[in-house]
Every structure is written in structure tokens, then in C-alpha cells.
């Protein structure tokens, strides 16, 4: 006599589905991890990062423009028009929050450090970011520093300081 299929109660089915989803999320997080970057260890970045200084325009009818800067903009000069939103994203939680030298030229409008939820110890996974509004013509420096470039590893020369000169034009 053939066996009838075993019927699983709804609560057990829900538990199994939840455990499967949790396992899938854990596997995805473990595979995502943090990656190294030529700019130094403990730099987490998406596989295809945006250009060091990429400009974007808002939809028609809105005058807001933005420029996004990352590690590759270190040591460069950038020109932006008044009203531009300057966003700095440094791909490691070891960086201090980027700061501007002249709030009359580049007014801070937000920022901070966001650590990645799943990160091996000592990797510094996360993003240190700041946003600035270009208020009026002038020049300001945007700087950030870090002492550590990995677990118990001091930064080699040239890897512990980030600075970009931002010139605001009319």
C-alpha cells in the first residue's frame, strides 16, 4: 500500500521558510564582505565605483547639481558652481568625517560614518561621508584623516590623509 505524503503544519512550514531566508541572507552578507583597494587595505568599495568626481544634474525644473568625490579625488582640485551639492564618500569606517575649511564657501549639510552590518574584525568596512552646499565663490579644503589602515596596522605615508581643494564659482 503506497504511503500518503506527509503534511507539514503551517507553523513548521513558516519556520522552515524563515530559516531558509535567514541562511540565504547570511550567505549573501558573507560573500559581500569587504574588499581591499590599491589606496590601502581596509577600503570597502562596490565592485564598480563611480568616478572620483562625478557630476549629476537633477530632473528638469530643479536647479540642484551634485558632485560626488571619493578616494580617487585625493590631492586634486575641483571646480563647482554655487548651489552645487558636494558629496564626499570615503570607503572605510577608519576615516574621520570629512570636514570643510570654510563654512562660508562650503556649508556642511550632513555626514557621518556608517559601518557595514557584516564585517570581519579589523577591516573597517563602512563609509565615512559628508555633504556640503556650495554657498558662494571662494576656495575651501575638504579633509579627513585616519590612523589605522587595517587591524592594528598604522597607515603608510600618504594613506592617512585625504584632502581635496574645492573652488566655488558663480
The pLDDT, as a whole number, for residue 7 is 56
Grid cell 536647479 in the structure block, residue: 63
The pLDDT, as a whole number, for residue 35 is 35
Q: What burial class does residue 16 get, using C-beta atoms within 10 Å of its C-beta: 0-12 exposed, 13-18 middle, 19+ buried?
A: exposed
Residues of the chain with pLDDT under 70: 1-63
150-169 core/surface letters (b: 16 or more CB in 10 A; e: else) = beeeebeeebbebebebebe
Q: How far is CA 80 from the centre of its chain?
A: 21
Give the sign of the dihedral formed by CA 106, CA 112, CA 115, CA 121: positive
Which structural domains are found in the chain, ordered by start? Answer: 53-169 (2.60.40.2020)
The pLDDT, as a whole number, for residue 123 is 82
pLDDT single digits (tens) 150-160 = 877 899 998 99
What pTM did the predictor assign? 0.64
Amino acid at each position: 500500500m503506497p504511503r500518503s505524503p506527509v503534511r507539514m503544519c503551517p507553523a513548521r512550514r513558516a519556520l522552515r521558510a524563515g530559516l531558509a531566508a535567514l541562511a540565504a541572507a547570511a550567505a549573501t552578507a558573507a560573500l559581500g564582505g569587504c574588499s581591499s583597494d590599491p589606496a590601502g587595505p581596509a577600503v570597502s568599495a562596490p565592485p564598480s565605483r563611480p568616478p572620483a568626481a562625478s557630476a549629476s544634474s537633477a530632473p528638469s525644473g530643479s536647479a540642484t547639481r551634485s558632485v560626488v568625490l571619493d578616494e580617487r579625488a585625493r590631492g586634486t582640485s575641483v571646480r563647482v558652481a554655487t548651489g552645487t551639492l558636494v558629496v564626499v564618500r570615503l570607503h572605510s569606517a577608519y576615516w574621520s568625517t570629512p570636514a570643510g575649511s570654510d563654512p562660508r564657501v562650503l556649508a556642511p549639510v550632513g555626514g557621518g560614518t556608517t559601518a557595514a552590518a557584516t564585517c570581519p574584525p579589523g577591516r573597517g568596512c563602512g563609509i565615512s561621508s559628508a555633504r556640503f552646499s556650495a554657498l558662494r565663490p571662494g576656495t575651501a579644503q575638504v579633509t579627513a584623516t585616519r590612523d589605522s589602515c587595517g587591524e592594528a596596522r598604522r597607515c603608510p605615508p600618504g594613506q592617512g590623509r585625504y584632502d581635496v581643494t574645492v573652488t566655488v564659482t558663480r
